[in-house]
């Protein structure tokens, strides 16, 4: 039986009244689910400008030979190319997992306006864990940050992925 790519919040915490996840996070979760099927760690990212999705990416599949090909980096590159811009200061980045130090650095360099992320990552995250990159004096741009959006769905994808590999 096919498993759903992601779980709708109301099926997880019934009978709580649900509110739908924002579309960019739904798209990021779908990208993460597709990446998981390809064998990549299921993390997806979407970049939005003026309410329009301009980039969707996920962690690269194994064999890509690019250790930096995290969802956020790929989405930032795709968005910058689409806009023909060196900075993304009017863009929002949605990602299913708390960004790592590399991606948080890229988000700062890209001047992303707002960061929305799903699950916390106590092991590899660098926003509210580890180096807390945006709080460092050497970080020259701090986006507005909103965590926990779609955290249950994003966490379920990651858990299923790693459980299947045990």
In angstroms, the first-to-last Cα distance of the chain is 21
Least distance (Å) between residue 60 CB and Zn ion: 11
Least distance (Å) between residue 103 CB and Zn ion: 3
Q: Which residue has the tokens 């994003």?
A: 154
- Rounded to whole angstroms, how far apart are CA atoms 133 and 10? 33
Site size for Zn ion (CB under 5 A): 4
**Bridge-based pairing state of the strands 52-58 and 144-146:** unpaired
Contacts of 143 (CB under 8 A, 6+ apart): 93, 107, 108, 112, 113, 114, 115, 134
- The active-site residue, picked from 14, 30, 72, 98, is 72
Does 70 interact with Zn ion (rule: CB under 5 A)? yes
| 153 is a catalytic site residue | no
Pick one of 103, 108, 151, 156: the residue that binds Zn ion (CB under 5 A): 103
Tell me which residues in 73-102 interact with Zn ion (CB under 5 A). Answer: 100, 102
- List of residues contacting Zn ion (CB under 5 A): 70, 100, 102-103
Residues catalogued as catalytic? 72
């Amino acid at each position: 039986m096919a498993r759903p790519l992601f779980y709708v919040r109301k099926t997880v915490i019934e009978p709580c009244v649900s509110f739908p996840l924002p579309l960019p996070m739904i798209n990021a979760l779908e990208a993460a689910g597709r990446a998981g099927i390809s064998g990549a760690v299921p993390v997806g990212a979407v970049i939005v400008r003026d309410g329009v999705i301009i980039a969707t990416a996920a962690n690269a599949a194994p064999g890509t030979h690019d250790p930096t090909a995290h969802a956020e980096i790929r989405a930032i590159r795709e968005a910058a190319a689409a806009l023909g811009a060196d900075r993304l200061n009017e863009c929002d980045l949605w990602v299913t997992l708390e960004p790592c130090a590399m991606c948080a650095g890229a988000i700062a360099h890209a001047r992303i306006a707002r960061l929305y992320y799903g699950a916390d990552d106590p092991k590899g995250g660098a926003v509210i864990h580890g180096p807390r990159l945006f709080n460092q004096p050497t970080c020259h741009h701090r986006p507005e940050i909103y965590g926990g959006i779609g955290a249950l769905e994003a966490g379920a994808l990651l858990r299923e992925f790693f459980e299947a590999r045990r």
